[in-house]
Amino acid sequence: MLDFRVIFNFEIKLNGIDEEQQPRKIKNVQFFLNTFNPKFTQFELAFRFFFLICTIVTTCLFTKSMRRFSILDWSLEQRWMIFLLIFLVFYNDPFYPLTFLVNSSFPLILDGVLQATFLCTLLLFWLSVYHGIRQNVRRFIPFYLPKIILVSLLWIFSVVLSSVRIGQEFRDPMYNMTIDIRQFTTFRIIFYVVGIVYILYLLFLIIRAFGELRNMPYFDIRLKFTTLLMLCVVSISIVITTLRFGSGIIEENFVPELASRYKNSVEFLSFYSLINLYLYTMAYVYSPAKNAAIDSLFRDNPTFSMINDSDEEVVYGSDHEVSRLTSVER
């Protein structure tokens, strides 16, 4: 086995300090060198391509299964699944190979923007589901606009911080985000405040949804399924983030570091697999069965189909059921 050793010689000169005083004031110097493993690069490219192909296939199959029904009969979750699967395609970033083909920071910045866009869309999906499942009238301005503004703030701050870091590091290898992050103090404070507001708002919607719909069949199953999957994703994400950063979560450069790069294959594969499998599971559950129909006897059972009744029919009964009950009474 060949043993390769590299020796670096550094000559350091500090301005504003006399040569006689330098040994007294400077006691220790640390150098940090970042290296990239070619095998990890190949591993990352292979799995990104794998997830990209799986997502495209899942999107096509889900869309094909929904074409049999009018969009008016789709449930709220099924309408959102189309958007989430499309954004998941870009989350897996089909343009990522340009990072190694183009001598520019644009592919890396684009990758960070696509990741932030999908994650913020997922946050918007959770808010919309827990709020929209309780009502049928969902006008854009009163229902979606406040949620979009809240999530857009998180998107803007995460994109700005990660893009600045990537761009500066590409132009200057000596760039240190820990020092220059002080220029974005206001951005970081607003980001954390908006994040706390989002969490409180989501908890409020979850508690209110379970309080109003927990005794209703079909709605109760939808809530439990959505909440169970969401808790799995959030819990595993928290564990991965904690193992990755440890006490560094409270550091000033946590936000841009979160969207910059992965330190090893375990971090990359665990997080990417979690997000992709989460969407694949929802696409499988929310896709209608082959024998599903609008007048199916199992229209209130999500196991067979979640698209067959509107919210008014589940709560008050369909016209067919009302007429049948009336004829029986006569």
**What's the rounded Cα separation, in Å, for the pair 84 and 67?**
17
Is the Cβ–Cβ distance between 210 and 223 less than 8 Å? yes
For residues 12-26, one letter each, b for 16 or more C-beta atoms within 10 angstroms of the residue's C-beta and e for the rest, the string is: eeeeeeeeeeeeeee
The pLDDT, as a whole number, for residue 302 is 35
Q: Which DSSP category does 22 fall into? A: H
Token pair for 319: 């016209």
Token pair for 100: 């190694």
**What's the rounded Cα separation, in Å, for the pair 128 and 248?**
32
**What's the rounded Cα separation, in Å, for the pair 210 and 330?**
38
The pLDDT, as a whole number, for residue 42 is 84
Domains and CATH numbers, the chain: 37-286 (1.20.1070.10)
Is the Cβ–Cβ distance between 160 and 259 less than 8 Å? no
The pLDDT, as a whole number, for residue 296 is 43
pTM for the structure as a whole: 0.76
pLDDT tens, the chain, 330 aa long: 445 566 667 676 666 666 565 556 666 777 666 666 778 788 888 889 999 999 999 999 999 988 888 887 788 888 899 999 999 999 998 998 888 888 888 888 898 899 889 999 999 999 999 988 877 778 888 889 999 999 999 999 888 888 887 887 777 766 666 666 666 677 778 888 999 999 999 999 999 888 877 767 677 788 888 889 999 998 888 887 777 665 555 554 545 455 555 666 777 788 888 999 999 999 998 888 776 655 443 343 333 334 344 444 444 444 444 343 333 334
Question: Which of 308, 303, 306 lies closest to 318 in space, CA to CA?
Answer: 308
